[in-house]
Chain A
Amino acid sequence: MSHHIVEVKDLIYRYPDGTPALAGVTFRIEHGESVGIVGANGAGKSTLLSHLSGCIIAQSGLVAIGEIPVTKKTLPDIRRAVGTIFQDPNDQLFMPTVEEDVAFGPLNMNLPAEEVERRVAMALSKVNALHIRKRPPYRLSGGEKRAAAIATALSMSPDILVLDEPTAALDPRTRGLLIDLLHGFTHTKIIASHDLDMILDVCKRTIVMYKGAVMADGATEQILADIELLHRSGLELPMRMQSCPKCAGKDKES
């Protein structure tokens, strides 16, 4: 049995105010896959990811992480396995200092103090944020907040990494760093993003969402080259695919 498999079957979700967000989503992600989730604003990406981390429990249909269905009862197990990075880092940071925020998860896992300390340093250095460790998170720049938020998930050493718009508000250097970091994370990762170049770089497989349903699911190279499909789902070709030699060169370097 692997903890790293993600299974979603006929998932339907409607927000309490009646907004339909997911209208029957089905897919299966195998151990070690890296999957991009793309789609226009309001397509349901964030809602889908919230189901994977158990922040939302399925109203109808099934969500399972490594054979364990996501229900209220299994939440502790799910949360140990899945590391989530939310779309808005303001939602993720709540402790008085960055350092304490990153330590929050490991401390809840009842790890010994030295191990917690080691993980905090490891996670912060991975996102290049060691210098802000003593700062209060609510007084950071957007990009610094993002880096801190990613560190809070990394410090828990999750089996599956779920990221919602991880490159938003990052400067090119930090974005490059994040992409390297994602390459280095060999477990399963699921990334929702409008940064199609990053998806092209990091994810082998891509799922296209449109109005709460899966419109296409396949190899990233093919999907992101399909102009007609992208247009129908409200997206554009990634820069690198727009046969612009300059961008193409740049992206290969980074």
Chain B
Amino acid sequence: MAMLNTVLGDIDALDRLSSRGGIANRIDPRAMLIATALFVLAVVSYPKYEIENLLPFFVYPIIMISLGAVPFGVVARYLLIASPFAVMVGIFNPLLDTREMIVVGSISISSGWISFISILLRFSLSVSGALVLLACTGYVRTCAGLAGLGAPRLLVTQFLLLYRFVFILADEAYRMARAHSLRSRGARNPGVSVFASLAGHLLIRAYDRGLRLHQAMLARGFDGTLRTNRELRWKPVDTLFVVVCASFFAALRFGNVSRTLGELVMETQR
């Protein structure tokens, strides 16, 4: 419960960062979306055993985090919270894929470990990319950007409401957990029957609140299309941003930068 609240609190905090008007916050949401999509695409398109070429990609989130003044701590916490998922996905690789791949001195590293590390790297990169998008652009502007890029209106509205609904659900859950703990003399784990009842109540309450919110939206003339007062304006800077990002990612992806860099260093030392 506490963890859920921390996570939501963080999302909320990141989202609010986006309204501070820094350089990174002024980039058009469509440009940010395109850049993020290219970034994730480049990262996930590498072959299974890639490690060294993934590392330079961290430059993008690091630069954006500094530009948007996003606290590193929050991003790091997120990566930690979400990492069990990536570990679950990749954990069997070292067990199943035991071919020897690299030998460093007397230690040999199997290809399974390599692909496991590769998965973790890609995962961290994608999550940081998404967090950067959230922190620089904000949830609502991101949705507006999606609509601006031609995503179906209905889908965008769904996304917007989903965001609100997650908070409602968490709020209700928090209140019920509090009510329960106040009357259960500090017993931490409710019995199965109490838990089932709590869960049932939670669903009904969240559903009811969802219904009432929908009524409130209808009462204010909602017809299925969400209108916002934030006009999207594509500026030359946005074109520049997309071009720079795209060429940077392309260079990393197809140019094998780390090897080129390494060779350059070797050359100069010779």
Interface members, chain A 112-158 (any B CB < 8 Å): 113, 116-117, 134, 136, 138-139, 152-153, 156
Q: Report if A90 contacts B (CB, 8 A).
A: yes
B10-32: which residues lie under 8 A (CB-CB) from chain A?
12, 15-16, 19
Interface-centre pick from A97, A107, A134 (highest chain B CB count, 10 A)? A107
A103 at the interface (CB under 8 A from B): yes
Q: For the complex, is A80 an interface residue (Cβ under 8 Å from B)? A: yes
Contact of B140 among A80, A100, A138 (CB under 8 A): A100
Task: Judge whether A94 and B213 touch: CB under 8 Å.
Answer: yes
0/1 interface trace, chain A 74-105, chain B, CB 8 Å (1 if under): 01100110101010101110111100100111
Closest to B141 in A: A96
Q: Is B229 within 8 A of A75, CB to CB? A: no
Report B-chain residues with C-beta under 8 Å of the C-beta of A156: 220-221
Contact residues in A for B216 (Cβ distance below 8 Å):
84, 86, 91-92, 94
Q: Does B180 contact A (CB under 8 A)?
A: no
Q: A79-B221, A84-B219, A91-B213 are in contact. Are A107 and B12 (CB under 8 A)?
A: no
Instruction: Give the interface residue-count category, chain B.
Output: 20 to 34
Asked if residues B221 and A108 are in contact (CB atoms below 8 Å), the reply is yes
Q: Are A105 and B229 in contact (CB under 8 A)?
A: no
Interface string of B121-153 (1 = CB under 8 A from A): 000000000000000001110000000000000
Q: Which residues of A contact B171 (CB under 8 A)?
A: 90, 138
Task: Give 1 or 0 for each of B184-219: 1 = CB within 8 Å of chain A CB.
Answer: 000000000000000000000000010011011111
A244 CB within 8 Å of chain B: no
Indicate if the CB atoms of A91 and B220 lie closer than 8 Å: no
- For the complex, what is the distance from the CA of A95 to the CA of B163, rounded to whole Å? 10
Residues of A within 8 A of B92 (CB): none
Q: Are A116 and B229 in contact (CB-based, < 8 A)?
A: yes
Q: Is A108 a contact of B223 with CB atoms below 8 Å?
A: yes
Bound CA span A156–B217, Å: 13
Q: Which residue of B lies closest to A80 (CB)?
A: B221
B247 CB–A CB distance under 8 Å: no
Count of A-B contacts with CB under 8 A? 78
Q: Which residues from chain A contact B213 at a C-beta distance below 8 Å?
A: 91-92, 94
Closest Cβ neighbor of B172 among chain A residues: A90
Contact check, B139 vs A96: say whether CB atoms are below 8 A apart.
yes
Is B248 interfacial (CB-CB < 8 Å)?
no
Query: Is B12 touching A139 in the complex (CB atoms < 8 A)?
Result: yes
**What is the CB-to-nearest-CB distance from B183 to chain A, in angstroms, rounded to a whole number?**
22
Min CB gap A124→B, angstroms: 14
Q: B227 at interface (Cβ–Cβ under 8 A)?
A: yes
B270 at the A/B interface (Cβ < 8 Å)?
Answer: no
Which residues of B in the span 70-94 have a Cβ within 8 Å of any Cβ on A? Answer: none
The answer to whether B218 and A55 have CB atoms under 8 Å apart is yes
Q: Is the CB of B231 within 8 A of A55?
A: no
Partner of A108, one of B15, B16, B227: B227
A97 partner residues in chain B, CB cutoff 8 A = 19
Given that A107-B227, A107-B228, A113-B229 are known contacts, is A136 also in contact with B219, CB under 8 Å in the complex? no
Contact A134/B220 with A91-B209, A91-B212, A94-B213 known, Cβ cut-off 8 Å: no
Q: Are A113 and B227 in contact (CB under 8 A)?
A: no
Do the beta carbons of A96 and B221 come within 8 Å of each other? no
A212 beta carbon closer than 8 Å to chain B = no
CB-CB nearest in chain A for B231: A113
Q: Is B233 an interface residue (CB 8 A)?
A: no
**A1 CB-CB contact with B under 8 Å:** no
Give the residue of A50, A84, A100, A152 whose beta carbon is less than 8 angstroms from that of B228: A100
A238 in the interface (beta carbon within 8 A):
no
Closest CB-CB distance, B139 to chain A, in whole Å?
A: 7
Closest to A113 in B: B229
Among B19, B161, B171, B229, max chain A CB count under 10 A is at B229
Given the complex of chains A and B, what is the CA–CA distance between A29 and B72 in angstroms?
60
Extra A-B contacts (13), CB below 8 Å, given A53-B219, A96-B138, A152-B220? A79-B218, A84-B216, A84-B219, A90-B209, A91-B215, A96-B15, A100-B140, A107-B227, A110-B227, A113-B231, A138-B171, A139-B12, A156-B221
19 pairs across A/B with beta carbons < 8 Å? A54-B218, A79-B219, A80-B221, A84-B216, A86-B216, A91-B209, A92-B213, A94-B161, A94-B213, A95-B140, A96-B15, A96-B138, A108-B227, A113-B229, A113-B231, A116-B229, A117-B229, A138-B168, A152-B220
Binding site for B on A (CB under 8 A): 50, 53-55, 75-76, 79-80, 82, 84, 86, 88, 90-92, 94-97, 100, 103-105, 107-110, 113, 116-117, 134, 136, 138-139, 152-153, 156
Q: Which residues of B contact A (CB under 8 A)?
A: 12, 15-16, 19, 138-140, 161, 163-164, 167-168, 171, 209, 212-213, 215-223, 227-229, 231
**Shortest 9 CB-CB distances between A and B: which pairs?**
A108-B221, A105-B220, A107-B227, A91-B212, A55-B215, A92-B216, A84-B219, A94-B164, A96-B140
